[in-house]
């Protein structure tokens, strides 16, 4: 791989109702040493590799506010 000629981008999908992100798509395009055509550090042809990653975000396993025992609240409020 030729790390001097690498392009990447990302897209974040937002849920219009909650205004929170629901997915992230990352794409990485990288050159093959000696086999990639480039123009101004952009890949325009030849041999190259593209990696696509898609992460789905959810509320699964959402952490709830812990119940703090009254004794611990007293100790925390003293600091």
pTM metric for this prediction: 0.58
| Alpha-carbon gap, residue 34 to 39, rounded angstroms | 14
Query: Is 50:28 a contact under the CB 8 Å cutoff?
Result: yes
Provide the number of structural domains found in the chain. Answer: 1
For 65, half-sphere exposure in the C-beta direction (CA atoms, 13 angstrom radius) is: 2
- Tell me the C-alpha distance between 79 and 68, whole Å: 16
Which tens digits make up the pLDDT trace of 7-22? 889 999 999 998 889 9
Which range marks the domain in which residue 69 is found?
Answer: 2-78
CA angle 68, 72, 74 (to 5 degrees): 120
Residues 23-66: pLDDT tens digits? 999 998 888 777 888 887 778 778 888 899 999 988 766 778 88
């Amino acid at each position: 791989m030729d790390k001097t000629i690498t392009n990447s981008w990302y897209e974040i999908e937002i849920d219009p109702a909650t205004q929170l992100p629901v997915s992230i798509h990352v794409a990485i395009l990288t050159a093959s040493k000696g086999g990639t055509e480039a123009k101004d550090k952009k890949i325009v042809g030849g041999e190259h590799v593209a990696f696509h990653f898609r992460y789905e975000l959810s509320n699964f396993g959402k952490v709830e506010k812990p119940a703090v025992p009254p004794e611990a609240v007293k100790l925390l409020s003293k600091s």
